[in-house]
Structure 1
Amino acid sequence: MTLNAFIHVQHLLGTGHVVRAAAIGKALAAEGVSVTLASGNRIPPTLDTGPLEIVELPACKSPDAAFKRLVTLDNEDIDDAWKSARVKASIQALEARDYDLLLTETYPFGRRQLDFELTPLLEAAEARSKPPLIATSIRDILVRKKELWKERWMADQALKYYDRILVHSDPDFIRLGDSFPFADDVDALVRYTGYVGTAARPSSGSADGEDEIIISCGGGAVAESLLSAALDARPLSRRAEDTHWRVLIGHDISGDAFAIYKQSAAEGVFVERARPDFPELLKRARLSVSQAGYNTVLDILVAGVPAVFVPFAQVNETEQTQRAVALARHGRAVVIPEEGLTPERLAGAIDDALALPRSSHAVRLGGAEESARILIQDLKERNA
């Protein structure tokens, strides 16, 4: 008998959420599960959704990094009529087939602004003659809330509706309790899957990176302070002034700005565009200096290289800081705030991090495949 899975995902600014949801969906499909992916935003054309059946819900997004408002793709505020249409579309999609599994990406541990839709969806699922297994898929770090009641609500919502919580991290480094104060309350539902990472890339054959300091910034659009400090920090370092520093600048930074960074670099500092062999460079490097996004940190953990993290922390962003601090507690990194960053402070953090040992710990990967295995096993046990 073919199992049927319904995955609900909403990405608001970046595409990481839908990429992760699609990866889990394809892993389920590889095990013979028929998967429907209901997306609340336009799926990027570069994302291969393979065998997944796609349902496009009335689309919305966040207009900025504050995540205080939802707007349509035409930047119009959503209203009650739009919300009603969204709820109707979600429930109709769920009721189109007898689904054995309902998986919500992030919610209820985020996306609370979509509760107008998702609580009715969960209630519709529970009201079926044969309710589906209900699970949620969450990243390694949750964004802390200023009001504790919001986090209490997350735990209560999970306990009320959910059968399984999939946490996409390696628990040897990051556990749910590192960013969620009520982790003990939901612990019986939690399974750690390992990281949902990108596919292995072919070797470039380059020897670049050997014993170097590698400074990276993802796309680069929000990394000006890190890049500016890094260009002048090398002569100020006591432990790393004798090696090459390689600064990788993302393609979100204009050609004119890139040229200025290149011209401004101190002696011994190479400036170039971000490279697809970044994970290889890290494996040969003496140290990594970067922000603390999910994918970058995963590459650093796999490489085993010591790190300096300068987390992106503008507006209400806390995720990168929490991820960086969690890894620092495990002796894998030194963390320095973005605010007030100077070449002197960065050089000092680099010197401190160079005293950390390399790690040979085998980071748990394969999070999408492990998620599929866990969910299918849950369904088998439920139907036994």
Structure 2
Amino acid sequence: MIGAGFMGAAHSQGWRVAPRFFDLPLAPEMSVLVGRDAARTRAAADTWGWAESSTDWREVLERDDIDVVDIVTPGDSHAEIAIAALAAGKHVLCEKPLANTVDEARRMAEAAASAQRLGTRSMVGFTYRRLPATAFARDLIAAGRLGDIRQVRAEYLQDWLSDAEAPLTWRLQKDRAGSGSLGDIGAHAVDITEFMTGLRVTRVAGLLETIVSERPVLGSASGLSGSAGAGRGAVTVDDLALFTGRLENGALASFEASRFRLGRKNALRVEISGSLGSLSFDLESPNELQFYDATLPATEQGFRRILVTEPEHPYVGAWWPTGHMLGYEHGFSHQAKDFVEAVAADEDPRPSFADGLHVQEVLDAVARSSDANGVWTGVEPSFAPSTVPDRAYAAS
């Protein structure tokens, strides 16, 4: 695994726990953790359960005993590492968003397609697809329980940047992160909408806003552009993204991504309405779905709460008895499970790098729309989309 920050901890938890709860066809061995600082990386490796640590990812790619590379670095290094890893014959899991630009993402998708012909697999880590509730929502929609999809509202709301004096970090600089709330959390809103509905976004109209334009730089702030010493630095990404999307069946979807919504800590909220019913999901209540069945008699209609903790629900059977809740970290175990099973079966896992590129194209279209004062802008495909269907997530 390359990267030893917040996502490094989450992915490590997934790799460590998945083979202990799921009967996997291959056994993941947590061999090497790669980071920039030798001492900190060694400490993280000891904490998270990695056998070795390194500061040189290129050297690690040359090792014959490494089969999989998991990339959890900032977006500006995804393309270089992933393309090199695929060329070295390593299966690759890469965190979202796939890259910082459409061009980088396209090159990654092309490299993945070339590697796939040699049996090397790749996947982008949109982990929220792998929560039991979101996977079950996808299966309900695929089974026709909502009928024809007519309208979607998706929003990802946080408030960790609402303090204007919060320090500048790499996530607030375009050269490191690519974009702000749009790519960081808006990408999740786009992907979960397309995953649940099975429909792609084809056009968008949106606006991006930077609410706080500069922030304090603490100390040397290693890795930040123009951070030679203490002072203040420019925020070069968006704090808020608002956009409308047209789905391929003609339905409208509204999206919001904000890191300034006070009181919303990690609220990925999706409501999907069709001709036969509606459902809604909120990541702050991750074990629940709200489902409305319009086919019931009028006297029985109304949203009802489904507690998604039965062994028949996706993934749940491997964990605890009914009603014993799962949390944020379990999605990373499910991600590791699905990735290993796909590699063992010599199948392409989803979401693919082509899927990740498509999300990048949606984000790019939103940015271009904002630059043009919110005009409708087409999502321009630059690579043939994956032809591998998303499978229903069977209870397991």
**TM-score, normalised by the number of residues in structure 1:** 0.35
Higher strand share: 2
Q: Which structure is higher in RCO with an 8 Å CA cutoff and minimum separation 6?
A: 2
**Structure whose alpha-carbon radius of gyration is higher:** 1
